[in-house]
Structure formats: C-alpha cells, structure tokens
Structure 1
Amino acid sequence: MKINVLFASCILALTSFSAAAQQQRQQLQALQNVDTIAVPILAETPTFYNHNYVFKARLDSIQKMVPLSYNEHVQKYIDIYSGRKDMMGKMLGLSEYYFPVFEKALKYYNIPEEIKYLPVIESAMNAHAVSRVGATGLWQFMFATAKDYGLNMDNFVDERKDPVQASYAAAAYFKDAYQELGDWLLAIAAYNCGMGNVKRAIIKADSHDFWEIRPYLPLETRNYVPAFIAALYVMKCSGQHQITAQQSPFVKNTDTIHVNRFVSLAQLSAALNIEENALCSLNPAYKKKIVNGTEDEPKRIVIPKVNMAQFAEIYEVLNNTELEVNQNVYLASNDDRRRMKKKIVAKPAAAISYHKVAPGQTLSAIANKYNVEVQDIKVWNSLKSSSIVPGQKLKIHNPESEKRKLSAHKG
C-alpha cells in the first residue's frame, strides 16, 4: 500500500489541544490582516538632558555580538516601548513560540541571536502583517527581495508568511549584508533601506560607524536601528519596567508532517478537533487554506500534538480525501495588492531560478524536471559529487534564457 504522507516522527505523542478555543480564536483574529506597525518617527534632539546610566549599564550587560549603543536616540525609543506595556507583553508571549524558530535559522547562518528581535519592530511578530508598500510577513520581505532569497509566492502559498522559510531567508540576507558591510548595525540598517543606501551614506560620511553615517541615511532608517536596540532592551529587561508576558495564542507543543498531495486545512482541523483558524495560524503561508503538496515538492504542515485516537481520522484526510480544486500552480508576478488592473504581458522566465531539494529527490530527477543536464547543475552549484540533501537550494539556469543570450550574441 502506497503511503502518501511523510511523517517527521513515526509516532505522534499524546497531547490534546487547548480547550480555551473561543479566547484563542479572538487572539488569532486580532493578528490577521493588519498593517505593519511602523517605527515611530521622532524629531531629532540636539541636546541630551536625560542620560540614564542605569539603562546604559543594562545595555552593556546584555550586549553580545551586536553593539547596543546608548544615546539620546535609543533613549527616546526605550521611553516609547517601555510605555507600551500591553504591546510588549504580547510580544513576550509571542516570542515563546517564534523565537526558537528564528534562533534555529540564525544559528544555521552564524548570525547573532540578537537579530531575532527584529520582527518585533518589523511586524509586531504578525505573520500576516502587510506594510503600506507591500512588505509582508514576520520579516517584512518585499516581493523582489523575497524572490532573490528563494522564497516562493504563487496562487497557493506566500512563503514570506512562513515563519520557517522566511527566517532562513532573512538569515541569508544578514549573512550577505555583513559580508558586504562588515558591521552588524550597518547590516540592520541595510535590512531596512537596502545596501545601496548604506554604502552611499558610508561614502558621504567617510565612516563605517552607524552613528556617524546616520544623518546621511533615509529618515526611517535613522530611527530603525535605535528602535531595534530599544525593543531588544525592553524585551530583555521587561521585569524592570513592569511588563508581564501575555499568554501566546499559539499551541506550544507541535509536530511537523510533510504531505505530497493536496490537503485541506479545514478538513484536517476537523479531524484534529481544533478550530480551523488555530490550524491556519500555525500554517500562515497557505493562501487558500489548502496545502499543495506534490511528489516533487512535499509541503510542510505544522499541527498540534495529537493522541493516537485521532490518528485514523487524520490519516484518512491526509491520504484518502480528494479535493475538487484546480491544482495548477501560477507563480506570482508581483504583490497581489499592488498589481495594476491592466493587461498583463507575459514576461520571459527568469534566467536563474532556485529548486529546493525534496526528500528522496536525486540530481537526475531534478535535471529531468528542468530539462537540463546533471553536470550543469553540479557546475552551477559547485557540487563536487552528486550528493544532495533535503531542503538544499540548487541554482538552475533556464535553458530558454541561455538560448536567447546565445541568439543575441550571434546577432
């Protein structure tokens, strides 16, 4: 008998979902579809009167790899965030669920753990946050940058909203930014305004010190770095500011399964006997509440730990339930909310794309899928052997693009 579901663990441990469904549903609905909370823009203070040596000492005590400077700009944001006790209490609660995800991705790329506090000011740790200019998800990726870092956006998924995928993409960005700029505060600034703006500011100031180049940066970025330092401080020193962690709306004990067929989150939530909204909140990337797994690209579903009595119903949904849905996948060409209402001219496929290796895939199977040669894939990715691992991203050159280049060269 063919089993179409790949379980991360052979036996799902015993735990039932929280009984406080109504309260949880209200908390989750509050996290849906809200605009990003922007960093408050504050006026410059030429003279600093309220220097607080206690705050400076605390910042010094919690500093690790990222410099946690103390000055008038940081102080102003400490005043703001320490006063937002309800908001910061929610951030502390959400951090219990999200920080382990962020930490794992940051550690993979050897990025300082402190960067995990960035989503506090980017999105208020809301996976569905969308800014006024279209930046989306916990890490607020713009469409083009998300594509550059391997995130997929199509009619079924938006991986900018996937906590795991987006966290690895953000960590990869910081690796590149630090290699380019050589300073963590500059890398943080670049995450907000782009490396080009930071490099131009470095040239104008003739310095690599953030606080010296700060006047030459966009206004939002000048405030962004002090706000990050202040938010980190308030989260780490919440007790000294009478801020108490609020209960997270997310269930803590979860399992991960991979499916290679289309699965309805609504049907799965019924089998799990939990609120549909609760399951969708654990899997925020799926636009249609449908997990579009395939043999070539199995998809991940996060579920609460369940008891063995539920196993048969879950297995039925995952393996034997057919969905009447158009399974064609269309890559997004831009953010849906910003797409112009005019005739869309089809653009040629990108010269380079990225393929995420699925469990059990071989280089031969991937080469056949893209109509290229195994040796080409090895050259493009500097592979010394044919060994690949699940989750690895491979660079794939588009054969049609190569033909167009050759034709243009001959012309």
Structure 2
Amino acid sequence: MSDLSRFLRLVPLSAALLVLAAPASAQRVSAKDRVAIDALDQRMAAAEKRYRDALLLVANGDPKGTAEGDAALEDMEDVIDACAKQRGCELNTQLAAFKRLLKANVDAQSPDEDEESSDEPLEDDHVPAAAGATTSTPQAQQGAAKLDDNRHAFDRMVQYNPAVQAGIRRWLTDMRSSLVDSYENYQNMRFMMWPQWERQGLPEAMLFGIMAKESNGKVHVSSRAGAAGPMQFMYATGTRFGLGRDDTGFDTRFDPRSSAQASAEYMSERFAELGNSVELSLAAYNGGEGRALRVYRQYPGVSFWDERVYNQFPAETRDYVPMVIAAAWLFLHPRQYGLDFPRVAPQPAPLKLLKPTSIYELTMCLGTTGTRDGYMRTLRNLNPRYQAESYLAPGVTLNANTRIAALYSRHCLNGPRAELARTLMAANVNAAITRAPLPEGRVSVGDVSQLVQLPDDPAESKAEEKPRAKEKPKGKEKPARTIKVGRGDTLGKIADKHDCSLKELAKANGLRAPGYTVKPGQRIKLEGCGK
C-alpha cells in the first residue's frame, strides 16, 4: 500500500473520532492518562525518525529502505489506533506527524517549488570573461534583459543573441529528447568527466554543451569522418593529447574520463591562444584550430559574430558554435525555459560480478527502477571496454552506482528475473525452425550417377567386371571447415550466418551453455552447418 493511500484511509477514521470525542481541553486527564499519552507521543516520534531514515536508504539505493519504511508506517498506524482509544489523546497531533512524513516522501521524489524557481551556479566564478561578451544586437536586447541574468560565470563569457536563441528553440522542440538524453547520460558519467574540466578551470556548462552536440553522451559513437567517443576526437588530434590504442588494443577515445581530460587540455590551449573567447575556441574545436588562430590573428579582439570573422568559417561551424552555447545555456537555466531535466544523482559504486554475465543480460534483469529507459546506456557508457553481448567472467568489476549494485543483488543472481534473462540470452532463431519429415514412399535424392548395365551371360559379366577402387584409408577424412572469430562476433551470430545448429556448433568446439563464450581471433569449427 502506498503512503498516500495509507494516509487517506486513516483520515476519514480520525475525522469521525474527532467529531465524537470531546476536545482535549474539555476533558480531565489523569496522571495515568498523561503517562500513556506521553508514551504514544514518543512512539510516534520514534516511528517518524525510522521513516525518515528509510527515505535516506531508498535514496541511496539500499533495498532495506522499502521494508523499513513500511514498518515505520505500521508503527504510526498502531499509534493512531491507540490514540483513538486513549482518553485525552489528541488525534490531530498524531495525524500531523503522519502528514509531515507524507510531505517528506513527496519532497524526496520531486523538487519543491523553491528549488524549481532557482538555478544554482554549477561552476566557479573564477573563469575569465571573454572579450566582447555583451549583447550588442537590438533584436537580442529584450530577450537578454529577461533571460541573461549573469548569475553564472558562463553567462558573462558568451553573447546571448538571436543565433543562440535559435539554437535554444531547436533544442526545446525537435531536439528536446536528444537534450534530455544527453543530460541523463552526462549525469551518470559526471564523476568521471567533470573533475578533468574543473582542474583546468573551465565551465561545466561548456563541457555539457560540447558533449550534447557531439555525441548526446553516447560513448561508442563514431562519425563517418573518423571522430570517435563522447567528445568526438579525430585520431590524430586525440593522439596529441594522449588518446589512442592502449596495450589491450582499446581506443581510449571511447573512455569518458580520458576523453574529458583530453578535451579539457585542448580547450585550455585554445582559450590561451584565442583571447579566452568561447566562440572562437568552439569554432576551433569544430572547424580546425589553424583556421581559428589565423582569423584571430587577422582580427585580434574582434567578436566571432562580427561578419569579418563569422563568414570565414564554414556553415557547419557557424551552426555548431551557437548550438553548443544554447545547450550550455539550457544546462544552467532549465526552469526559465520550462525544461524539466530528470533527477539523476547516482552514487558511484563498483559492481563485482559473482557469476558469468553480459551487459545485455544485466540490462534485462536490472529492470527500469529509478530510470526512464533502464540501465543499458549507463553500463555501456561507464564500461566502454566491454561489448554488450560478450560474457564477462566472475570477479570482473564494472563501474556502476549504488542503485545498480542493489538491483543486481536482488534480481540478477537468483530468482525469476535472473532465469528469464539467461533464457533470453540463450535464445537462437534457428531453434525455432522446424523441418517437416519426408512423405512415405519418397526418398531423398542426392548426386545422380549412371548405373552399369549387367550383361545376360554371367561369364561375360565376370570378364567385363572391373576391379573395385581401393577404399580410402580411415583417419583421412576432410577436416571440418573453420573460421576466425571477429570483433563483436558471438556464437549465436556465427550460427545464424552459417546456418548452424547452435548446440552442435557448441559441442564441436567444447563450448558450454549458457554463455557459449568466444573471443576475437579464436578458431571455430563449422560443424552442423548448412553453409
């Protein structure tokens, strides 16, 4: 039963009792009654504290929180029932405690009005202001007077002009879902990314704006031009800042922490050589640092929005700069634009696997508690080294948070959800295909070979009989065809591609269910396959 339904059930009962009972002030309360009333007050206070502690456990993803909260509510119900029977006990006082806890529960699940109407600064104010960071165009002055409140350091570093406003319009309309996804993805990776920018004294809003425009916070994104990772580094540029293939072959451009550090160092260099201009630094990030530096030296101190500067950048860059600033602006001022970002405040925690599993399997058994779309994107972003379908051995430690760790213990080790996830992972399309038996009286026809006609005379038959061909010695059958496992391949994919029976393929290669784990470079015998 929910807290609200419990409260609504208690209110009519208490109201009726209050009507029938005389006011406490009109009743004579004996010393014995007073002792009993004080005891009830203490029980209610203890239950109230127990419930608040339970809310804290729930907020931290501790599964004990729900049970503790239910037990606390039952204590409160008992106190109210006892109060109704106790001479001189004021029910309205006891119900007030229940109402306080109900409000505390609502406040814990959604921001209050005061919080919604204010935007707290998200970065320090020590970041240097950009040159020319004022609103100069007449069209922008009216909007800037209402929305450019200069409460954040970033507000004073950029121009809030019609180009930025148009970018905000795009983020709030057809790109709203992308912006919200970006925010949720960023908050789950924030503990890895933000410290890298904070050490360089760069604004967090700009980090979010770049990430939102480049990748929507999906770390495995790669562009057709070859840029990769959450911050979309080209390979050559990434190499300059320590990104690239490590000893295991993993491309660290996909790692949130490494890519954030590299982007912070890159932007610090651009700020230093481009006069602390956010717009020119962003133009360099997208359109090339050489072009940006050449333009800056040609027109030192001139704003990016000056047509002499603006027109020297390609159309993609002229679109990119205001879109990043617009995303950053909404990151700092969501309430002013009617934007409700999801409440995401994960507590980072390691998740040590206790049995073979994959990110796909974890996604199914964890469910969607506390999220909009489940935990697959979070697990993939925090653990970019692992393929989602690859089975991981017991003892592997994943980057996660306290809620994921609690749900893993509850649903992914044992129980119906864990069994269902394993069953779904082992499912193979070929197992659903049935082959009808051949009708009676028909035989399967193979290669057609010409029959030798026997002569009428047996003697002639002996004379014409040809010696039989020698049988092939045993042990020299043609070996089974093999293939090499590629990156991202699973046994199920190989079985589908070559029309194999998954069980026969696994048996021939000594692989055990349910994982059927294969590794890139491993040789697989194609037995029980149709092609």
| TM-score, length basis structure 2 | 0.42
Q: Which of 231, 240, 256 is matched with 1:163 structurally?
A: 256
User: How do residues 179-328 of structure 1 correspond to structure 2 at under 5 angstroms?
Assistant: 179-185=272-278, 186-212=280-306, 213-246=309-342, 252-256=346-350, 266=358, 274=366, 277=376, 279-287=379-387, 301-305=398-402, 306=405, 325=519
Q: How far did 1:283 drift?
A: 1.0
Hey, what's the Cα distance between the residues in 1 that align with 2:271 and 2:170?
Answer: 29
Please report the RMSD computed on the Cα atoms of aligned residues, expressed in angstroms: 4.2
Identity across the alignment (%): 22
Match of 1:141 in 2: 233
Count of matched residue positions in the alignment of Structure 1 and Structure 2: 269
The Cα of 1:50 is off from its aligned counterpart by: 4.5
Superposed CA deviations along residues 164-212 of structure 1, whole A, max 9, x for unmatched, are: 1111111111122222223232222211122101012224435453223
Candidates 217, 228, 233, aligned match of 1:125: 217
CA change 1:216–1:232 in 2 (3 A) is same
Q: Which amino acid aligns with 2:273?
A: E
Q: CA 1:286/1:144 → structure 2, altered by over 3 Å: closer, same or farther?
A: farther
Q: Distance in 2 between matches of 1:152 and 1:106?
A: 20
The answer to whether 1:174 aligns with 2:267 is yes
Contact (CA 8 Å) 2:360, 2:389: kept in 1 or not? no
Distance 1:205 1:178 in 2: 16
- Whose relative contact order is higher, 1 or 2, with alpha carbons under 8 Å and at least 6 apart? 1
* 190 and 116 in structure 1: CA distance in 2 versus 1, 3 angstrom threshold: same
Q: Take 1:309 and 1:50, find their aligned partners in 2: how far apart are those partners?
A: 54
Q: Matches of 1:164 and 1:111 in 2, distance apart? A: 16
Aligned to 1:64: 153
Give the counterpart letter for 2:386 in structure 1.
Y
**Structure in which a larger fraction of residues adopt strand:** 1
- Name whichever of 174-183 and 163-172 sits farther off: 174-183
Provide closer, same or farther for how the CA distance between residues 87 and 140 of structure 1 changes in structure 2, counting only shifts above 3 A: same
- The answer for the alignment partner of 1:42 in structure 2 is none
Contact 2:256 2:381 in 1 (8 A): no
Distance of 1:268 and 1:86 partners within structure 2: 24
SS of residue paired to 1:303: strand
The residue type paired with residue 64 of structure 1 is A
Structure 2 unaligned regions, length at least 5: 1-59, 64-136, 368-374, 414-514, 523-531
Look up the equivalent residue of 1:240 and give its one-letter code: Q
Instruction: Provide, for residues 128-173 of structure 1, a one-character-per-residue CA deviation record: whole Å limited to 9, x for no partner.
Output: 2222312122111111111221123367523222111111111111
Q: 2:140 is paired with a residue of what secondary structure?
A: coil
Measure the CA separation in 2 of the matches of 1:281 and 1:115: 20
Q: What SS does structure 1 have at the residue aligned with 2:222?
A: coil
Task: Give me the whole-angstrom Cα distance separating, in 2, the residues matched to 1:201 and 1:175.
Answer: 18
Kept after mapping to 2: 8 A contact 1:138/1:161:
yes
Cα pair 1:126 1:138 within 8 Å, conserved:
yes
